[in-house]
Amino acid sequence: MCMEDGDGRRSRAMGLICLGMAWMAASAQTPPVQVPTVQAPRYTVVVDAAHGGDDTGGHSGTQSGSQNGSWMEKDTTLALSVRLRSLLAARGIAVVTTRETDTNVDRVRRDELANHAKAQACIILHASLSGTGVHLFISSLAPAQPARIEPWSTAQAPWINRSLGLAGALNSAMQHAGLSVTLGRTALPVVDSMACPAVAIEMSPKGASGGSDHSPIDSLNDTDYQARIAEAVAAAIVEWRSAGSDTGAGQP
Ligand SMILES: [Zn+2]
């Protein structure tokens, strides 16, 4: 019906008829248009439970699991990760974990997961029988301007200032929770290759100031102590988010 004439033109009348027919056909067949809703940008946190599988991390010597007076770092980091993940998820934060079970995830894979997530914060969890309280570490790399192509081994360099900001939020939250906390800088290859605000958190026994006469192993296996630390980290992340750190995710 709506054909062009021999010169490739339609008469005006025929054109109007064709337009009308097309409109009617479209009205009859086109489903209601979905108006796209504007979604808030996803706020993502990477939680990296260090060690796992045959990499126990620190241990108490017996290596028979973290119970009955023995301890392995890989169990504490996973327990903290599981707690933190659920606390963050309950606050509407998307969480990417590097492991969910007692498996060994290599360093490059951890960094790949973190960098692919374009996270607003990366939290790396360690634990130690030595020292007391909570130790916060950021990379010892010198701050650098963002480059078009960032070397993998120094991907953290443009993020140092934001990592310092995140460490400050964590420090405040730990103090607010009554936890003993120290801040430091160290060379941690897994952190050095992360392109996100990144802080390594090392849990040590409560110590005398923690009001506990538990042994260091009991202290690290203490689920209440683990919960206090995880809750302080979650509170810090919420504070960090409200401070506007979600602008420019993926950009230093
Ligand atoms: Zn460790």
- Predicted local confidence at residue 32, as pLDDT: 56
How high does pLDDT run on average in the chain? 84
Do 80 and 7 meet the contact criterion of CB atoms below 8 Å apart?
Answer: no
| Rounded distance from Cα 127 to ligand 1 centre (Å) | 6
| Rounded distance from Cα 177 to ligand 1 centre (Å) | 23
- Predicted local confidence at residue 160, as pLDDT: 96
| Rounded distance from Cα 151 to ligand 1 centre (Å) | 24
| Rounded distance from Cα 55 to ligand 1 centre (Å) | 9
Mean pLDDT of 167-174: 97
Kindly tell me if the per-residue pLDDT of 99 is higher than 70: yes
| Rounded distance from Cα 218 to ligand 1 centre (Å) | 18
Query: Which one is predicted more confidently, 202 or 10?
Result: 202
Kindly give, in sequence order, each residue whose CB lies less than 8 Å from that of residue 124, ignoring residues fewer than 6 positions away. Answer: 48, 50, 188, 190, 191, 198, 199, 200, 201
Domains delineated in the chain: 44-54+68-245 (3.40.630.40)
Helix axes 160-176, 223-240, angle to 10 degrees: 130
Question: What single-letter amino acid sits at 51?
Answer: H
| Rounded distance from Cα 238 to ligand 1 centre (Å) | 25
| Rounded distance from Cα 239 to ligand 1 centre (Å) | 26
Tallying the residues shown for the chain, one arrives at 252
> pLDDT by residue (tens digit) across 21-35?
444 554 455 555 555
- Predicted local confidence at residue 215, as pLDDT: 87
Mean pLDDT of 111-130: 96
Kindly tell me if the per-residue pLDDT of 198 is higher than 80: yes
Do 47 and 96 meet the contact criterion of CB atoms below 8 Å apart?
Answer: yes
> pLDDT by residue (tens digit) across 128-169?
999 999 999 999 999 999 888 889 999 999 999 999 999 999
Answer positive or negative: Cα dihedral of 187, 189, 194, 200.
Answer: negative
Confidence grade of residue 19 (pLDDT, cut at 50, 70, 90) = very low
| Rounded distance from Cα 134 to ligand 1 centre (Å) | 13
